[in-house]
Structure 1
């Protein structure tokens, strides 16, 4: 063969595994086949992908001194084997190729075959797709190195050795790097930065067999890291986000599994979404651009919630604690709670004397804190990555009747409010607040020891001023949690009468001579003074007389009207009373007393019901009696022959006739309508049914049988003249009305 002749001329040695060069290096059979076919015949050979790569490398380096040799090398991947069409375009120039050039060419093949030939390595199922490489850049986006990592080979047949070989194969180089760990950093000097590099890892198990990972291709200078989402918002029917670099993005609804993929060519991207009745969150993933990177993986899911709208609803409750303290519980509800990352809560004193506020960042919907007895403003807003909701606020009012450690005494004179207190406190730092409402409170901080204080005017007439004194644990301005309310009082510069009456007048439990009335509070801003009690006006509409009652209490808003006239209409009104007198009465309420007392009415009802019951019984008895009498007249009783003694006699007649005929007793006299029986004991003769039907009188005779000896007197009844009676009974009708 031509290949053998060429080898003989070059003093090469062949074997079953390949070709051995004069220096003893081996070359795979695939390369030998290619050499024999291409160098001698110029035909196309089929070799493994690593051998093809080596041929390409060696051909470039060997033929660089022979520009006349043209060739075409085009690898095509197919099941890890490359099919290489290799054509010698100018075969004539091979005559000018020196044997030394051919030997140099083969030497390159022999030297590089061992590092890049993976034809003898198999790819086990449990070690597939386990390698991943990524390029690493500095802050100026300059390429530094490539870092590769893979899963350790953990087969039962694997050796305890952790030696691996990392193979690098590019168009201009091929190298195998030994390493002991499951990762390796490839420096820039070992890479063809601008060319595609194929990387894989091989390992030899205990039996000496070679196993390899999948091939990983990368262009080192291209950043294949997935871009980062720097900003994202889901508002209305659009999804907007900002990426750190171009790439691909896929998105889906949070409750869906269907992805939608788009190419992102600019940093800002907006996607139109279908209209939905309810807001929903979207999940987004991003990866590098497939046009510049060979291996791009989807980055972890990023949840983009819907933009928050509206505001939470706040509910505030207070509870009494130690003197001068109250526990404030704030609860809120938000309809879009499922799309919220958290809540910002802020508590601020009114007025903010020490310029401190308390802030919380929480995921809960309940907040509890111990504060002083004062006015506080609580504000809540929800937030997520799409933004924040509207702010909602609520005012915490002091307890109505708090327990306080001290008392404040206030007097008004010459447009000045003079304050004293008890007991005296030793702290040389005190805060005094006063005002008509929480949003009009004024504050004064005193940093010296005092035992009284005068608040200068002017003050509004008929306005209630609330005055509060606060102390601090360390006698200096601190948070409201370290604040204690010393005392609270109120004062009017000048009082008036209430300008409105109570609301919600109601009348309950109306009887024959009494009625209970109830009413609501008069708003504090309408009292225009300290409320002392209530005046009640009750007017009889028929007599045009009015009764006035005064209730000396502001907490009790219920009164029992007594001594009223039965079956009369009344009109009732209520007015508040201050030191200046009674104010404007409330709206009137009409009611009418009962004509009868409840007991009387019940007695009347019971009497009526009893009379109706007794009358019903009497009528029932009377009807029954009349019905019975009429039935006896029109429907008399008819005897039932079935129960007649005569029927029995009819059945027993033949046997008894025989007894009568054979009887030895002498004949006895009997009339034609009766039967006389002679026995030892007297027997009453029973009248027959035929006698009753004929309306005839049947004579019953009673006789005593003559005394005979027991041996001579048989226990047999004697009947005479029975034949005539039997004939009568036989002629009687059979179908009659019977009485059972």
Structure 2
């Protein structure tokens, strides 16, 4: 009984201790140790964040692995980490966070416990991780600084530096920026990888991940690496401006632009001397698109390219030309060529007191610039060339630059490190010019002068320093003169020449060695005098006036000759043959022969006759045509013919014709607008049977009158008061008068 009671009391005491321990753990999680991890695991809350608790290892050496545990948990007051293999051990943490310091493990299974307690020690949470140490090894990807890449012609070259040497291969996963489709390329080694078929102007995103092996069982992805677009175009150098600075120096401002400037990180500007002399500082990294430099008078080369992490653009090149202006330089600088490989420089002694380091450059047109830097305290220096020999008849140019640095005479910085002291040009041996001045032309020709223009001889054909030009000019009479002008003259006015005379001109250049080749003959004719031109104009005016007068007199002479040689056309009204027909039948002759102008009223010089009333048919209008007209009325045509001239009697005054209605039986109505006063003859027409409409003749009229009289003799009405005919009127005037009446 006593034994049973003892067992019961112990069990009860253990239970009370456990309850007390649990309550204590709930109140204070800090008491969790390796001994009560099982109880802590039961009573601490397990949140969703336990999945962020991970332990892994990495190789320090080939056979040495360090491990670490990391828990991405919201901030708690205290953290504890325990690992349990054969033994349970508490691990140290870094800065009171749930990131442990490195530790070692055995190759057997491992269990890790992470416990976090609140600030009031009343809440706790626990996370658990179990794994095999050899399978927990991570082959971490290199960070972004250890990944280099370059883009060129649609290809991406990637170079990765892995910390774990157990990595044999890796993947490159990439996609276009703002795209969701990832592509993958497996690299054949652990360092270099090539990705192709990329679009040059597109930006990309990239991940790196090792290939899983037994040595690398865990291969996490790297962070996203941004790959900017590829530059395929070179920048454009817009302008290079120069402004004077100090004597022997100039400020050069270079401006450029790039169409993909938003993707540019920096611009690389490199400047070097055209002679090839290198400077310790010659490249400059800029973010702007302009640059200012202080340079001497030498020729320079400049290159500009844009770059980013993906690579650089093709460079843009430009030449900064040498400045040959000597106006601001010391004229005491002199060069004398001693031989084809030796020359001497000399300058002002005052310069040697300020400078001791110099550089000389020399070149011939079309050749590379040579240079030599030297240290000297004298006012002269001899230079022996190495790879360049001086040739006769060739001009060589020299620059002498002074440098302020005295420790070494090498070029320290391309910007503001030297100035040009003097320039010079020399010949080893001078000769005569090989060619004549070109583009010879003449302008501004007057009566006694003209201007001669030309272009200078090219430097390679001069073979010496030009001393001037000789102008030869002459006329057709063989008078030849010459004039010498200076070497900088390209035009000259020749004066005091004879007017209206042809002149010829030749031109040649000369050097210290003599005169060169003459140009081809150029011919020019001076203008005539103003007096001669005035006389010519006066002669032209007089000739025109004489021509007009002669034309006027000729026209009058032709008019008089016409009146004498060609008589007037006769008037049929004045024909005796017509006037002698007395008592003839009333003719209805002229109405069918009417033409359109018969409707108009005209007055004539002949005697007017009365229109005798009679039977008149309605006025039938027909077209004016030279064809035969016929009528369908069977009534014979009657006409009343009044003789205007009979037996030399005086003409009867004309009788007025007007509209009247005296006889109601008369069907004839005379319209005032169509009534006509006819010279000598006035007829009332009553539809003749046959009428000829054609050019009139006296014979036709006579035949028609006779025919009408035969058809109806009873209708003939004579006029006792007819005027006698005038025999003095000829046949031609009669025909002309009748035509005018029609």
TM-score w.r.t. structure 2 length?
0.50
Which of 1 and 2 has higher RCO (CA within 8 Å, sep 6+)? 2
Structure (1 or 2) with the larger CA radius of gyration: 2
